[in-house]
């Protein structure tokens, strides 16, 4: 809408505040009205308005050219062409060209529209009075009468015993929420820092109950292991396996990006805690192409070729790695306990 289309009485004056009321003791919230409209350079100088017009047209033209470049990129760049671009590094030339050209095309449309609105479109503010929200007096009287009749029929005022016990019950219920705070404790203290893994403990296959050899772990497979000596019928088995459960994956050594991870592996076999570092669910889904493992509870995803770094989801820490080796008889063994606590984050974790 241009300022010519706006009724004269709606326009604020150049003096400002003249059409608004002044706050007084009786009416402290009086509407002060709109401030005076300050004309922009484009409103008073036709040459400045033309300059703005050319700028907007230029931005839209650049957007069109960028769209043409986007389409041309499909023809110019082969899908597998990789180029080095500082500071990004090595990247697909096609992806870079598509992303850049589309980004420029969209940015220029946005920038052109914003510049157009800020410099050439009318900036006169027009008040739009809000309708009264209060209902008609007759409607309000009827609602109050209905409410009183309902209260009378329910006996809420008369039956004080019921009313008071109801208030008591409603006041007591939130106390049960306070009791739930008990579930925040006790703190694990050192219990998650120590597991049954120790130097020389053999890795036992959870399915066959046999000690594992490196050749038992195939590339792309996911195996689960427990420490030697921990049997299912043992007292406290669930507590111990909940901390010590291990998963083993064999990755081609050249695909392991983390140097320490490689040093702690045996020919590409890496051993990680199976307990998710979010809230402790057992991890079980392995994607062999990407070496990602996924926790089924809240979808935390860890990259096992890069120190089990968290790449997605709410987990706050990488999965702890267990350093493993091969003993004289050719069996996989632990070379110590986990270096960091297993499982979820907790206050004392440090």
Where do contacts with ligand FES occur on this chain (CB under 6 A)? 276, 278-281, 295, 297-298, 300, 313-315
Nearer to ligand FES, 269 or 319 (CB): 319
Nearer to ligand FES, 33 or 313 (CB): 313
φ/ψ of 274, rounded to 5, equals -90, 0
> Min. distance of Cβ 207 from ligand FES in angstroms?
23
Place of tokens 């594992």: 212
Whose CA is closest to 269, among 250, 287, 289? 250
275-288: b (≥16 Cβ within 10 Å) or e: bbbbeebbbeebee
Nearer to ligand FES, 315 or 322 (CB): 315
Nearer to ligand FES, 216 or 303 (CB): 303
Identify the DSSP state of 271.
E
272 token code pair:
């990680």
Question: Distance between the two ends of the chain, CA-based, in angstroms?
Answer: 61
Question: Distance between CA atoms of 278 and 294, rounded to whole angstroms?
Answer: 12
Q: How many CB atoms lie within 10 A of CB 10?
A: 14
Nearer to ligand FES, 219 or 345 (CB): 345
């Amino acid at each position: 809408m241009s300022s010519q289309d706006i009724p004269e009485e709606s326009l604020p004056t150049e003096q400002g505040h003249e059409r608004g009321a002044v706050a007084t003791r009786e009416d402290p919230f009086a509407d002060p009205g709109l401030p005076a409209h300050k004309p922009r350079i484009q409103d008073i100088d036709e040459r400045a308005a033309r300059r703005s017009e050319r700028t907007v047209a230029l931005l839209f033209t650049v957007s069109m050219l960028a769209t043409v470049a986007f389409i041309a990129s499909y023809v110019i760049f082969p899908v597998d062409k990789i180029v080095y671009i500082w500071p990004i590094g090595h990247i697909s030339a096609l992806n870079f060209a598509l992303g850049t050209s589309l980004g420029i095309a969209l940015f220029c449309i946005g920038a052109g529209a914003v510049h157009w609105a800020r410099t050439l479109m009318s900036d006169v503010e027009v008040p739009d009075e809000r309708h009264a929200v209060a209902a008609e007096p007759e409607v309000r009287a009827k609602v109050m009468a209905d409410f009183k009749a309902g209260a009378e029929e329910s006996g809420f005022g008369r039956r004080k015993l019921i009313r008071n016990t109801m208030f008591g019950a409603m006041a007591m219920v939130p106390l049960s929420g306070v009791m739930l705070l008990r579930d925040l404790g006790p703190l694990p203290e050192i219990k998650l820092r120590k597991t049954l893994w120790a130097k020389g403990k053999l890795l036992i296959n959870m399915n066959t109950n046999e000690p594992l050899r490196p050749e038992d772990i195939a590339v792309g497979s996911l195996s689960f292991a427990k420490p030697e000596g921990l049997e299912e019928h043992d007292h406290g088995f669930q507590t111990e396996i909940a901390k010590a459960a291990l998963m083993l994956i064999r990755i081609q050594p050249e695909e392991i990006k983390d140097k320490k991870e490689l040093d702690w592996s045996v020919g590409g076999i890496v051993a990680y805690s199976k307990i998710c570092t979010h809230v402790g669910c057992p991890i079980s889904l392995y994607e062999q192409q990407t070496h990602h493992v996924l926790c089924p509870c809240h979808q935390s995803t860890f990259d096992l070729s890069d120190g089990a770094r968290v790449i997605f989801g709410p987990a706050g820490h990488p999965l702890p790695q267990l350093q493993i080796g091969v003993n004289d008889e050719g069996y996989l063994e632990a070379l110590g306990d986990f270096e960091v606590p297993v499982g979820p984050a907790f206050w004392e974790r440090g």
